[in-house]
Copies of this chain bind each other. A is one copy, B any other.
Amino acid sequence: MDQLNKMRNSKYKVSIVGASGYTGSELARILIHHPEVEIVSITSESHKGKRFSDLHGQFSGIIDFELVGADDVNVAEVDVVFLALPHGVSMEFVKRWIDEGVKIVDLSGDFRLSSPEVYEDWYKKDHTFPKGFDKAVYGMPELHFESISEASLIANPGCYPTASVLSLAPLFEAGIGNTDGAIIDAKSGTTGAGVKASNTTHFSNVNDNFKAYGIGTHRHTVEIQEQLSFLLKKSVILQFTPHLLPVDRGILATSYISIDTEMDQEKLTALYKDFYKNKPFVRLRNQAPSIKEVRGSNYADVYPYWDKRTGKAIVITAIDNLVKGAAGQAVHNMNIMLGLNESIGLLQVPMQP
């Protein structure tokens, strides 16, 4: 095990299951410097025996230990396990470890929705561990802090839902505006499509290019609808359109909602300020944020704008899809589950330029 880890008298032992993807490497980037934890193993079935730094050259000399198989993880000695796996695979590990006393943060989409039925409807595949839904808590700390602190299984939110829900939560909780007509026009970097080479992420298909995809059908739609319906205490149908940006990281969501009750900029800002009071990772901005202003960090920059001319609120939110939209939020959830200061190990300054 590596030096950096050894030097600490860390209280908590964690394991990362799934080494090859971007969420795996981002978890490692954050956890290796987290003062309260030690990474005791990183697993990969396909790369077992290789060094972690063979897969991710940036870790040369930093995390050089060998990848093990998931079978080699002794969960009895681990406090938290992070599942950085594709959906469909993750549920198998949840089934296997859920009663072993280890806390689980699942970064896949397997337990984010309200029921196996909704899952099967939007993910077009059978769910093999429906019971998991009873224990799973949707890990968005700004909304569910209390439940997270008592959970043993966290369904870590999707990247688009993180940006979208944070954009509209204050309005939906307050029941302000034509919530049912809300539109979320979202734009994401390519890392959201994963580490695996494909036509979608082929450089010449992305570079100097831009397009919409999954129009009307993207599965994050239902995740956003469910969370906002929960806040509104009423079921809503929303429009969500994702686009592919020629950038590595970052999501920018531009949301529109008509408001016909009395509104002005001051009121709108106050509503957001109030909702995000004492939420360390939501930064209310007074101008439209760019994705580079949050890159590499766990911050969500939110800017609500009132357009008097059209009677619409426009909310712009920027996050790093791999951090606030994945690994960072996962560590945030871990901090809460372990009763630590919620922002410990997560205060990296965004990397701009």
Contact = CB atoms under 8 A, between A and B. Distances in A.
A328 interface: no
A25 B352 CA distance: 9
A101 interface: no
A12 to B, nearest CB: 20
A212 B248 contact: no
Given A187-B187, A204-B201, A29 B349 contact: yes
A208 B208 contact: yes
A58 B350 contact: yes
Contact of A58 (B58, B293, B310): B293
B210 A252 contact: yes
A213 B351 contact: no
Interface in A37-76: 56-62
Interface residues of A, number: 85
Contacts of A295: 58, 208
Contacts of A116: none
A121 interface: no
Interface string A155-199: 000000000000000000000000001010101011100011111
Interface string A228-269: 000000000111010101111110101010100000000000
Contacts of A32: 349
Given A185-B185, A216-B309, A203 B210 contact: no
B349 A316 contact: no
A283 B60 contact: yes
B216 A293 contact: no
Contacts of A301: 60
Interface stretch (A83-91, A104-112, A142-150, A284-292): A284-292
A347 interface: yes
A258 B181 contact: yes
Interface in A285-320: 285, 288-297, 299, 301, 305, 307, 309-310, 312, 314, 316, 318
- Best-buried of A199, A202, A309, A347 by chain B (most CB within 10 Å): A202
A307 B215 contact: yes
A247 B243 CA distance: 14
A78 interface: no
Given A254-B185, A349-B29, A208 B294 contact: no
Interface in A319-353: 347-353
B185 A239 contact: no
Contact of A211 (B209, B216, B291, B297): B291
Given A57-B289, A191-B204, A203-B203, 12 more contacts: A33-B347, A62-B347, A181-B181, A183-B312, A185-B256, A196-B202, A197-B197, A197-B199, A201-B203, A208-B208, A209-B250, A256-B256
A-B interface, 7 closest residue pairs, ranked by CB to CB distance from nearest: A204-B353, A211-B290, A58-B350, A216-B307, A185-B185, A209-B292, A58-B352
30 contacts: A29-B351, A33-B348, A33-B349, A57-B289, A57-B293, A58-B293, A58-B294, A58-B351, A59-B349, A60-B283, A60-B301, A185-B185, A190-B207, A195-B202, A201-B203, A202-B203, A203-B246, A204-B353, A207-B248, A208-B248, A208-B250, A209-B290, A209-B292, A211-B252, A216-B314, A237-B309, A238-B310, A239-B314, A243-B254, A351-B351
